[in-house]
């Protein structure tokens, strides 16, 4: 019935999966029939603290009962508290924040910021370099920045402001950035592009090229931020420091929020009227995000993510040794991809779901895992058992 209602009333932009979930607790989702499944996708890397975390729920309830919205014509304490927290965890004393509604709108704002900065140097300094297989959103600007041409085709012609180069070629990055470029936009680990860490040489080349051409280096932390890779942000697992980062997904553990954090000259680019959004910095979502940051700190979840990552990747190594369908893994922290030896990832996804485990295929031969930072060793063991059964079923089919 729920799927029939969806078909009748909701635009068909999503290929829905079968369960209809009605409740979540920690790493577990419960469907309308009461069946439980381990959520090792985390709402697409959103639920860093798991489902219905008590500290986040309390922050939301308390704030919703106090003040829900004022518009950005006025200040609220939760927005200021969150801006302070983000400056602390980036380690940038001069950080300034623009609050958006999601990852795409955060990236859209960062692109505008880069253009504003570029045009202050030269009128034609408006182009951006991105990497192939990247994903930055589905608005018109962020769609073009996304390095996946199959997503472009239904909406062409695009605006023509992006130059996309190979994700694994430092020389190509260096050559692509010219005096007409205002930014390089990239992920340190491509999530939707196949859980693909970007090589240190590419990151270093992007930083050097931006420095040489007065361009901004923007790191999209929408999927890699908020502890997902074992540090607050993905760039902190590398030697490269960007000028700007964008955040969303796990920032408020499921409530809609995005953020652009900049430091140095980039922090002072925007002036009144240059950009705006009605709901950015909303008190309720900001209060939730403050609770997320405080909980990650108090429960030492950055350390926990590293430990659980080792447990999960060790299990993947063992699977690769003994299962013909598993070739290895890639990724970092708790953003991991299981590499398959055959193009059967969609079948493994479905079989895992049937065995009580939520994961997803991000390609024909890769299955993505993004469990909450709060995942336990026992839950990892249960997940690996379900995954093994799924692999066995697919191999026997």
DSSP per position, 77-114:
HHHHHHHHHHHHHHT-TT-EEEEESSHHHHHHHHHHHH
Q: What is the pLDDT of residue 17?
A: 86
Average pLDDT, the chain: 97
Closest listed residue to residue 191, CA positions, set 252, 147, 257: 147
Q: What is the pLDDT of residue 18?
A: 86
Q: What is the pLDDT of residue 270?
A: 98
Query: Which of these ranges, 13-27, 122-136, 168-182, 363-377, has the smallest mean pLDDT?
Result: 13-27
Residues facing 216 on adjacent strands: 183
**Average pLDDT of the residues in 345-369:** 97
pLDDT over 90, % of the chain: 96
Q: What is the pLDDT of residue 128?
A: 98
What letter does residue 280 receive in the DSSP assignment? T
Q: What is the pLDDT of residue 1?
A: 83
**Average pLDDT of the residues in 346-365:** 97
**Average pLDDT of the residues in 189-211:** 98
Q: How does residue 172 score in pLDDT terms, banded at 50, 70 and 90?
A: very high
Residues facing 278 on adjacent strands: none
Whole-angstrom distance, CA of residue 394 vs CA of residue 384: 15
**What pLDDT digit, counting tens, does each position of 244-279 carry?**
999 999 999 999 999 999 999 999 999 999 999 999
Q: What is the pLDDT of residue 131?
A: 98
Whole-angstrom distance, CA of residue 98 vs CA of residue 260: 5
Closest listed residue to residue 83, CA positions, set 266, 257, 273, 278: 257
Secondary structure E strands in 205-345: 216-220, 244-247, 258-262, 326-332, 335-340
> What domains are there in the chain, each with its CATH number?
2-52+300-396 (3.90.1150.10), 55-298 (3.40.640.10)
133 touches 193 (CB < 8 A): yes
Q: How does residue 156 score in pLDDT terms, banded at 50, 70 and 90?
A: very high
Q: How does residue 397 score in pLDDT terms, banded at 50, 70 and 90?
A: confident
**Average pLDDT of the residues in 167-183:** 98
Residues facing 24 on adjacent strands: 29
**pLDDT of 64 strictly over 90:** yes
**Average pLDDT of the residues in 294-299:** 98
Characterise 137 by phi-psi region: left (phi > 0), alpha (psi -120 to 50), beta (else).
Answer: left
Name the burial class of residue 112, with classes exposed (0-12), middle (13-18) and buried (19+) by CB atoms within 10 angstroms of its CB: middle
221 touches 258 (CB < 8 A): no
Q: Which two tokens stand for residue 45?
A: 């890397």
């Amino acid at each position: 019935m729920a799927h029939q209602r969806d078909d009748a009333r909701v635009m068909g932009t999503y290929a829905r999966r079968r369960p209809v979930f009605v409740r979540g607790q920690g790493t577990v989702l419960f469907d309308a029939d009461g069946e439980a499944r381990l959520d090792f996708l985390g709402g697409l890397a959103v639920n860093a603290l798991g489902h219905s975390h008590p500290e986040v729920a309390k922050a939301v309830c308390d704030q919703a009962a106090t003040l829900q919205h004022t518009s950005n014509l006025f200040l609220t304490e939760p927005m200021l508290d969150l801006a302070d927290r983000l400056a602390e965890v980036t380690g940038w004393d001069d950080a300034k924040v623009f609050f958006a509604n999601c990852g795409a709108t955060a990236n859209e704002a960062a692109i505008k910021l880069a253009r504003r900065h570029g045009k202050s140097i030269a009128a034609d300094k408006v182009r951006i370099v991105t990497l192939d297989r990247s994903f930055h959103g589905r608005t018109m600007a962020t769609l073009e920045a996304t390095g996946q041409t199959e997503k472009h085709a239904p909406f062409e012609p695009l605006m023509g402001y992006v130059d996309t180069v190979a994700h694994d070629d430092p020389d190509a990055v260096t050559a692509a950035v010219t005096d007409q470029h205002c930014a390089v936009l990239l992920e340190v680990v491509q999530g939707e592009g196949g859980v693909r860490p970007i090589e240190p040489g590419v990151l270093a080349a992007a930083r050097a090229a931006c420095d040489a051409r007065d361009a901004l280096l923007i790191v999209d932390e929408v999927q890699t931020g908020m502890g997902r890779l074992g540090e607050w942000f993905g760039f902190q697992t590398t030697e490269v420091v960007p000028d700007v980062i964008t955040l969303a997904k796990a920032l408020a553990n499921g409530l809609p929020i995005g953020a652009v954090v900049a430091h140095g000259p980039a922090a002072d680019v925007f002036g009144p009227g240059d950009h705006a959004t009605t709901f950015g910095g909303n008190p309720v979502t900001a209060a939730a995000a403050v609770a997320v940051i405080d909980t990650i700190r108090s429960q030492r979840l950055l350390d926990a993510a590293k430990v659980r990552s080792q447990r999960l990747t060790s299990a993947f190594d063992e699977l690769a040794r003994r299962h013909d369908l598993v070739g290895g893994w890639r990724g970092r922290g708790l953003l991991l991809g299981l590499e398959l030896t055959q193009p059967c990832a969609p079948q493994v996804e479905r079989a895992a779901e049937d065995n009580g485990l939520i994961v997803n295929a991000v390609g024909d031969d890769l299955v993505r895992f993004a469990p909450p930072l709060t995942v336990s060793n026992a839950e990892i063991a249960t997940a690996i058992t379900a995954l093994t059964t799924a692999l066995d079923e697919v191999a026997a089919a």
